[in-house]
Amino acid sequence: MLAIFRDQNKINYQLQIEGAAATAQSQIGLIPKNAGREIDRAARSGKITVNRVKQLEAKSDHDTAALVEALSEKCKPQARPWIHYGLTSNDLVDTSNSMQMKDALAIIQPKVGKLAVILSSKATKYKDVPAVGRTHGQHASIISFGLKFANWASEMAKHLERIEEIKKRVLICKTLGVVGTGSLMGSGALEVQKRVAKRLGLFPAEVTTQIIPRERYAEYVFQLALLGSTLEKIAIEIRNLQRTEIGEVSEHFKKGQMGSSAVPVKRNPTKSERITSLSKLLRSQVQISFENIPHWHERDLSNSANERFILPMCSILLDEMLETMISVIENLQININKITQNLYVTKGQIFAEFLLKELVKKGIPRFKAYRDVQRVAFEAHEKDIEYIDAVRADPAVSSHLTEKEIKTIFTPENHLGASQTIINNVARTVQKMYKKFI
């Protein structure tokens, strides 16, 4: 990922644009054919270095002018007048940005797909394991432990769709000159742009000023930040489940690893914490990308400097986060015994929802049944006794239920609802999206 945004690679992208534009212009008669071939040859020669461009830029104080001059040095004299014909700096800058984003997404998308598959596999593996579902940090009801992974896998599949969808809006080729009219190329301007876009694997701009509308860049940054926020959501759950008091999962702890410089026994969820930390930085770039959308007239430079940071930074940050999360999930340790133990931390009060349901089915008015279930639960908590024993001992509740019905209510495997079906559906969706986009 880092290589995509290195200076030499940026220059190589822009040289490809120069070569493609000259070729397209020569094909439709805007410039001599031999000039088009010569410019394209020189642009692809690999002899134009970042060092030379920077030497020239030190004199001109203009990066694009320096690149054009460096290209001119490698061309035969008869081709030099036609270099950069009809183009402006941002034809190179913006189109090369699109090429970088295209290559960045080509790295990101398969990793999203890989993570979706890993999460889906975990969901299937643990779909029959009853676990505590928590809301407001409190035990709420019983879920399938695999449902946690299915939720995340489904979002990764949606991100695959989102990435694919934004490409046609974000990966834009623009070669329309100083104010977006293609003035020097006249009626041939759109044909040149179409041909350049096809050669570079981009989408031709429909309309621009001197620059591609920055709504496109904002969407790219937003999508990466959205994906990063999903990764943070997963990371936070892992961090919470690894709390000493919960202990249902833990990050892999390799031999020789140290969790704390002071406390030898600690195993800290440092990788998940890293994802949380980077996600904050990634999200902060969204505001900047939105502030870059307004410009004076056909353009100004108020976006230019910060875009040299935010586009590479967002891509590199998300790539690191994906790499880290894939490693965390692949090696995540699941403590089934602790998951089961936690179901009974409240001494069976997690089954209250299902007790209420059975009383309602027996014809007890819901409000009365609710109050009885709640009263017995609070009394059991005060006396520190098992909820099932309190239910058996309370005539207002137990008189409506048989012992077999009570045991059925207090069996966690009976309360997974549609979890298995949901997980199976997610698994099919993930496989479908993976095959479609990866």
Q: What is the pTM of this model?
A: 0.94
Q: Which of 136, 187, 261, 399 is catalytic?
A: 136
The span from the CA of 375 to the CA of 363, in Å, is 19
The DSSP-derived string for 173-222 is: E----TTSS-TTTGGGHHHHHHHHHHHHT-EE-SS-SSS--THHHHHHHH
Instruction: Return phi, psi of residue 27, to 5°.
Output: -70, -30
pLDDT of 154: 98
Give 232-267 pLDDT, tens digit per residue. 999 999 999 999 999 999 999 876 766 766 777 678
Q: Where in the chain is the domain with CATH 1.10.275.10?
A: 2-85
CATH class of 2-85: mainly alpha
Q: Is 133 helix (H, G, I), strand (E, B) or coil?
A: strand
Residue 263's pLDDT is: 74
Distance CA 284, CA 56 (A): 35
Tell me which architecture the domain covering 90-252+265-342 has in CATH. Answer: Up-down Bundle (1.20)
Class of domain 349-409: mainly alpha
pLDDT at 281: 98
Known catalytic residue at 295: no
End-to-end CA distance of the chain: give it in Å, rounded: 18
Q: What share of the chain is helix, strand, coil (3-state, %, to 5)?
A: 70, 5, 25
260 is catalytic: yes
Q: Report the relative pairing of strands 130-135 and 138-144 from DSSP bridges.
A: antiparallel
Candidate list 60, 183, 260, 277, residue with the active-site label: 260
pLDDT on residue 260:
67
Spans in the chain with pLDDT lower than 70: 255, 257-258, 260-261, 265
Q: How high does pLDDT run on average in the chain?
A: 96
Q: Are the beta carbons of 233 and 205 closer than 8 angstroms?
A: no
Query: Where does the chain hold its CATH 1.20.200.10 domain(s)?
Result: 90-252+265-342
